[in-house]
Structure 1
């Protein structure tokens, strides 16, 4: 599986550990940073990873910051993304099985590296069986409604026409 990985400086060490684990389990990994422990704002990395996911450059992604909350909120602002915060195996499995989450987020100040590896494996070793498709479809439909409404408001009064 081709995976994106990214973190801020707070989770740099955990990102490097997870990246090595993924490569050792024969996944292709694209590292979107950060690449040192120098300060980086997590929204910058999370938006770049989210874009890669929506453009189909990767199959799924893993984002990390201090708590995992910031990157989760940020990724979920990107249209088309369903990111899920998980620090345990069951939640990681359900993120994929129930919600078809394309991005798993974790916090380096919350989870240890060995547990994080197990959480990542749990997330990656299951596939969405569309069991909650009706619910996920409702999320996607509402998101599209908001995106379309924002687009219409943005072009209102301009020379552009909106259908």
Structure 2
């Protein structure tokens, strides 16, 4: 699976740890930065991640910042993206099953590495439920439907 990952400076360490863990699990990971602890603006990296998802270069995205809130807002500005901010595995699974989320967002200051891994495992292993959910997901990108 091809997964893009991006963060701001507050989530740099979590991003690096998750990218390595995903690679060891056999995934093709594209790290979109940043690559050092210099202060950066989370919208820049959220928009970059959203572009990669919208282009189809990656199947899924991982968006990280201090709280996960700011970067998830930035990603969701792109109509091709459905980013879900999660902090535990059930929400991660439901984001995939019910909402066909293609980006998982987490807050590095709020979630530990092991919980982040558990969320990612649930997110990546849960298929979209389709059926009644598809009508609703269609409306996320096209409100007039």
Give me the TM-score of the superposition, normalised by structure 2. Answer: 0.95
Structure 1: gaps (5+ residues): 146-163
Contact 2:79/2:141 (8 A) holds in 1: no
Give the count of matched residue pairs.
143
The answer to whether residue 82 in structure 2 is matched with residue 71 in structure 1 is no
Aligned to 1:135: 136
> Could you report, residue by residue, the CA deviation over 1:15-45 in whole angstroms, capped at 9, with x for unpaired residues?
0110111001000000000111111111111
Residue 58 of structure 1, CA deviation: 0.4
Question: How far off is 1:137 after superposition?
Answer: 1.5
Cross-structure match for 2:14: 14
Question: Which has more radius of gyration?
Answer: 1
TM-score w.r.t. the length of structure 1 is 0.85
Point out where structure 2 has 5 or more consecutive residues left out of the alignment: none
Q: Which has the higher contact order (CA 8 A, sep 6+)?
A: 2
Q: CA RMSD in A?
A: 0.9
Residue aligned with 1:62, SS = strand
Matches within 5 A, 1:78-93: 78-93=78-93
Structure 1 stretches of 4+ moved >6 Å: none
Contact 2:43 2:71 (C-alpha < 8 Å) held by counterparts? yes
User: Where does residue 45 of structure 1 map in the other structure?
Assistant: 45
**Superposition deviation, residue 140 in structure 1:** 2.2
